[in-house]
Copies of this chain bind each other. A is one copy, B any other.
């Protein structure tokens, strides 16, 4: 049971802050620095952020680019292709949550400003 694709996947994306980080990277223009992420996810500690970023890199959902010509060092984090595709799953979860009343006044909006995920409006798999 534990070596099933599903559970492997859930082990990666089921952890606290992971979805927040993916969404934060999805919302922006595509690149964010460490402290920028720390600021957006205002109650995350650097240790936890660092851990999550490393996990997501290891599993190929995000990538880390160092600006070579900057002092001090700056690192750009962005979603990879698999990371972007994962956002679709998050959309489905949101759609399900909205349908079955796991909602609040903000996420009931079709385009939630907080989580940056646009609600899927048709029954097909929109690529939003």
Chain A interface (Cβ within 8 Å of chain B)?
1, 3-10, 12-15, 19-20, 23, 41, 59-60, 82, 85-86, 88-90, 92-94, 96-100, 102-104, 106-108, 112, 114-115, 117, 123-125
Please indicate the chain B residues that have their CB under 8 angstroms from the CB of A60 in the complex.
100
User: A88–B92 Cα gap in the complex (Å)?
Assistant: 9
Highest count of chain B CB atoms <10 Å: which of A12, A20, A59: A20
This chain's copy number in the assembly: 2
Highest count of chain B CB atoms <10 Å: which of A10, A14, A82, A106: A10
A107, B6: Cβ atoms closer than 8 Å: yes
B125, A9: Cβ atoms closer than 8 Å: no
